């Protein structure tokens, strides 16, 4: 072997060592990601948000469940139901996508809704998967079946509820983009009084409906889901992708201040529906405490 060949051999060795190191590092990260994905498929965390609003005379607690996509925590969701009951909410908000379009059968979700309605007054908006099942899948009964569980299904309408000493108005808005105009979302919001006494909560499945559209109206608290936390969450950067915002979305979870002074809480959801698993992105059950002080 001549000198050039040996030098090439030396460079090849170094390259091989670097390659092995990189492969090992990638394998390690892959292992961690896999463990994270497996964990995200089995458990969830509870995230607590606190909103100050002097319109309530005492603290009001909401529990928000979104994007279950037929996921069950414990047999018949017993673990989830027990957790919600222990959190003692004044009202339960269901932010849509309890079902998955293309997967038949959602009796488990109906049973969950029945159980939740026993815990506290429950309100739901339909997500894109429910809408697709209803309008594309031909399951026209779906909204009615959910309404029969005792959950109040809000499809572009408002409902007032007495929570302790406070009268709270909950508004459910359907549609996104053109659908907001076409299917009555805007008409519903137009009917609301600009001056409202007490707390007003607006529910919509898609969070990006709030900035620039819903925040033109008067309300105190907005809740949404849909983005699954950006599916993959990166340290310091947050979610990786959402269908509406693309890479590194803003409304992938967390609390956001809107232009009308309201707070928007976006849930990362409790399940997932796509092929890409949730990585470094534990599902979450959201608790929102609206405090007087």
Partner 1 sequence: MDAKERRISRGRGRAPAERAGRITLALRGTRDWAKRQCAALMGCALLIALALSCLHLAASRDTAHVTLSLQYEQAAQGLAPNGARLSLYEIKSSEVMERAIAYAGLTGRAEPQELADCLVIRPASEASVSGERTFICTAYTITLNDRLHLPGRSAEAMLSLVCKAYKDVFYSRYTDKQTVLDVSDAFFEADDDLMQLELIRIKANQLARFVNDRLKENKNFSYGALSFSSLYRQLDRFVQYDVANLSAYLLENGIARDREGLLAMLDYKIRMNTLRYDRAVAASRVDSEAIRLYDEAMSAVVMIPTADADGGYYMSRTQTGMDDFAAHADEKLGEAAQVQAVIAYDRYVSGKLAGAAPRPEAEQKADEMIRAMQARLQTIAAQIRQVDDAYVRQTRREYISFEKVEVPVPVALDPAGTAAGTLAILAAVLLGRFVLLALTGGKGA
In the complex, which residues of this chain contact partner 1 (CB under 8 A)?
3, 6-7, 9-10, 13-14, 17-18, 20-21, 24-25, 28-29, 32, 43-48, 50, 52, 54-55, 57, 59, 83, 86-88, 235-236, 285, 289, 291-293
Pull the structure tokens for residue 289. Answer: 């405490």
Min dist. Cβ of residue 94 to partner 1 (A): 18
Reduced 3-state DSSP string for 166-224: EEEEEEEECCCCHHHHHCCHHHHHHCCCCCCCCCEEEEECCHHHCCCCHHHCCCCEEEE
Q: For residues 162 and 173, is the Cβ–Cβ distance under 8 A? A: no
CB-CB contact of 172 with 224 (8 Å):
no
Closest to partner 1 by CB, 42 vs 182, is 42
State the nearest-atom distance from the C-beta of 43 to partner 1, in Å.
7
CB of 15 to partner 1, least distance (A): 8
Q: Can you tell me the distance from the alpha carbon of 244 to that of 264, in angstroms, rounded to the nearest whole number?
A: 17
Asked if residue 48 lies in contact with residue 287, where contact means CB atoms within 8 angstroms, the answer is yes
Decide whether 55 or 72 has the Cβ nearer to partner 1: 55
Token readout for 106 is 């959602």
Specify which residues 152 forms β-bridges with. Answer: 123
Nearest distance in Å: CB 103, partner 1: 26
Q: Which is nearer to partner 1, 58 or 103 (CB)?
A: 58
* Nearer of residues 18 and 187 to partner 1, judged by Cβ: 18
Taking the complex as a whole, how short is the minimal distance between the CB of residue 208 and partner 1, in angstroms? 25
Between 22 and 216, name the residue whose CB sits nearer to partner 1: 22
């Amino acid at each position: 072997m001549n000198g050039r060949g040996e030098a090439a051999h030396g460079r090849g060795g170094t390259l091989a060592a670097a390659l092995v190191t990189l492969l090992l590092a990638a394998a390690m990260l892959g292992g961690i990601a896999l463990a994270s994905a497996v964990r995200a498929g089995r458990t969830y965390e509870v995230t607590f948000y606190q909103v100050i609003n002097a319109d309530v005379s005492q603290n009001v607690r909401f529990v928000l469940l979104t994007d279950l996509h037929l996921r069950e925590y414990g047999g018949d969701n017993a673990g989830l139901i027990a957790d919600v009951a222990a959190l003692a909410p004044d009202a339960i908000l269901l932010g849509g996508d309890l079902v998955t379009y293309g997967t038949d059968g959602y009796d488990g979700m109906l049973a969950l809704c029945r159980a939740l309605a026993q815990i506290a007054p429950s309100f739901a908006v339909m997500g894109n998967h429910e809408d697709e099942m209803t309008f594309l899948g031909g399951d026209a009964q779906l909204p009615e079946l959910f309404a029969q569980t005792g959950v109040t299904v809000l499809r572009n309408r408002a409902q007032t509820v007495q929570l302790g000493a406070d009268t709270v108005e909950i508004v459910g808005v359907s549609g996104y983009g053109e659908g907001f105009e076409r299917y009555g979302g805007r008409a519903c919001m137009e009917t609301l009084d600009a001056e409202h006494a007490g707390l007003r909560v607006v529910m919509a499945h898609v969070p990006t409906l709030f900035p620039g559209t819903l925040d033109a109206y008067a309300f105190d608290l907005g809740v949404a889901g849909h983005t699954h936390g950006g599916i993959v969450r990166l340290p310091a950067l947050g979610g990786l992708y959402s269908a509406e915002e693309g890479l590194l979305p803003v409304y992938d979870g967390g609390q956001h201040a809107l232009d009308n002074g309201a707070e928007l809480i976006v849930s990362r959801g409790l399940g997932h529906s796509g092929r890409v698993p949730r990585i470094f992105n534990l599902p979450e059950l959201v608790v929102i405490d609206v405090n007087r002080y």
